[in-house]
A and B are shown apart, each in its own frame.
Chain A
């Protein structure tokens, strides 16, 4: 399967059931803003090591075609200029992918300057997490919509480090961060909490929806860690904050963390919910006034017909 994007590109790689991820030793064709005419073949490992702006696409397990963006180093002003030149050409050919890259790049630069980004994985760090969680919780109080928190920890990550070394461990964390990010929804905030611990803040998400996300991420990790054969899996704890809840941000973290502990204790590779799932129907799922009106349009017809048909 081939994916094209602008003048540079990448081939679809490492196709596995449900999720396609490039293997570290697989050859990728990278886009280098400076050498856009030549497609350079490198392995993922080289790209990561080589600090080069790389773009690659793959189909995730969701139905949509998604883009995975690996931004491995800030571009120099000169490179940025080259990147800008590439932009109109590429936009014409594909979707707004490059736009997104540039946006992300700007955001990335800014955030790095503010020291809110984790150096290894490029995810938000604990500092950003703390401020963001507080913001989302006040948004809940303001809008009435619940928010949820996912605390995740890799199982048997120490085995990976001990067996393959810390370099490989780090590489795995980078690939993991990408895979997790790809399987989250717009608006979800993924942070590295330190070590092999990750968190996701999910605005406007109740416990049930958060459970679906946790379930998906656990399955994603099963797929990407399976080839290693080291029993690396993901455990997660899920907590929810609602307007009726009196939890502080620290207490919400503690709640999700205790659920995570329970997931580990009861056998790993699973999630545990803190609290109970309530039956729900959110606003967008409700049948709207327009839809009801359209549905009811058949009413007169059915009644007339019914009266005429009655025996």
Chain B
């Protein structure tokens, strides 16, 4: 019973610009602060940006794993957040249309190093590409991030619906981002939850919300991790609360 089996969590949003990557990074940093060994994989193969958000400029990326040139160990980086990162390549067209075998190779590479971690976080890309679906299939937990925009609500629902229909998964953990207050976040969650219940026949799980705050764009601009630089700011406090839930298995 010595080998660790990490919890693999995929974070998706459907729509881009919802704050998925910000949340993924801050959750990873919070989990690391709690003493967890965390591996983050940037699965946003078309337009990767975790490396940029962390001020890194990696020489090797997921692309090298996908095409069988390198192992995950050779590619991974230590980050300021105390977690390890497998970065992706930005603007590589071939990556956005990864075929099955490449995705399989990535999965195998992640599995090879998985025993060193408690948590593996997959930051999937925007949209509902096969790649996004495949990483969601691979994950044990599926987190969907949405905000107060109608387009985000619709895309989050579409993501849930497609994953449910393709793979039969019916457990999704939701995070409402950029909420003005707890009440608004709850209203947004209850709304999408009732629609899932009605049309798909299962309820959603509410993981929490992140308060809208000016510190967020500022921290992104400075390429820092809010949970570390301003742990007392409302969004960082919210991230920490969600991370605690994730740490105990939701």
Which residues on A are within 8 Å of B, measured CB to CB? 62-63, 208, 211-212, 215, 273, 276-277, 279, 281, 284-288, 290-292, 294-299, 301-302, 305-306, 309
CB-defined A-B contacts under 8 Å, sample of 11: A273-B100, A281-B128, A285-B162, A286-B158, A287-B157, A288-B199, A292-B154, A295-B153, A298-B150, A299-B150, A306-B148
Interface residue ranges of B75-90 to A (CB < 8 Å)? none
CB of B115 closer than 8 Å to a CB of A: no
Chain B 146-160: CB-based contact to A (< 8 A → 1; otherwise 0): 001010011001100
User: Does A309 contact B161, Cβ atoms closer than 8 Å?
Assistant: no
The 8 Å CB contact of B187, one of A284, A285, A296, A301, is: A301
B55–chain A nearest beta-carbon distance, Å: 31
Q: What DSSP secondary structure best describes chain B's contact surface?
A: helix
Q: What DSSP secondary structure best describes chain A's contact surface?
A: helix
User: Does A294 contact B199, Cβ atoms closer than 8 Å?
Assistant: yes
The 8 Å CB contact of B192, one of A279, A285, A295, A301, is: A295
User: Does A291 contact B157, Cβ atoms closer than 8 Å?
Assistant: yes
B27–chain A nearest beta-carbon distance, Å: 25
User: Does B199 contact A291, Cβ atoms closer than 8 Å?
Assistant: yes
The 8 Å CB contact of A285, one of B161, B180, B181, is: B161
B215–chain A nearest beta-carbon distance, Å: 15
Please measure, in the bound complex, the distance between the C-alpha atom of A88 and the C-alpha atom of B238, giving whole angstroms: 59
User: Does A294 contact B195, Cβ atoms closer than 8 Å?
Assistant: yes
User: Does B180 contact A306, Cβ atoms closer than 8 Å?
Assistant: yes
The 8 Å CB contact of B195, one of A211, A277, A295, is: A295
Please measure, in the bound complex, the distance between the C-alpha atom of A63 and the C-alpha atom of B191, giving whole angstroms: 29
User: Does A211 contact B100, Cβ atoms closer than 8 Å?
Assistant: yes
User: What A residues does B188 contact at CB under 8 A?
Assistant: 298, 302
User: Does B191 contact A298, Cβ atoms closer than 8 Å?
Assistant: yes
User: What B residues does A286 contact at CB under 8 A?
Assistant: 158
B241–chain A nearest beta-carbon distance, Å: 22
Please measure, in the bound complex, the distance between the C-alpha atom of A288 and the C-alpha atom of B100, giving whole angstroms: 29
Please measure, in the bound complex, the distance between the C-alpha atom of A142 and the C-alpha atom of B191, giving whole angstroms: 40
Please measure, in the bound complex, the distance between the C-alpha atom of A297 and the C-alpha atom of B100, giving whole angstroms: 39
Closest 3 CB pairs of A and B: A298-B191, A285-B162, A294-B195
B216–chain A nearest beta-carbon distance, Å: 16
CB of B182 closer than 8 Å to a CB of A: no
CB of B116 closer than 8 Å to a CB of A: no
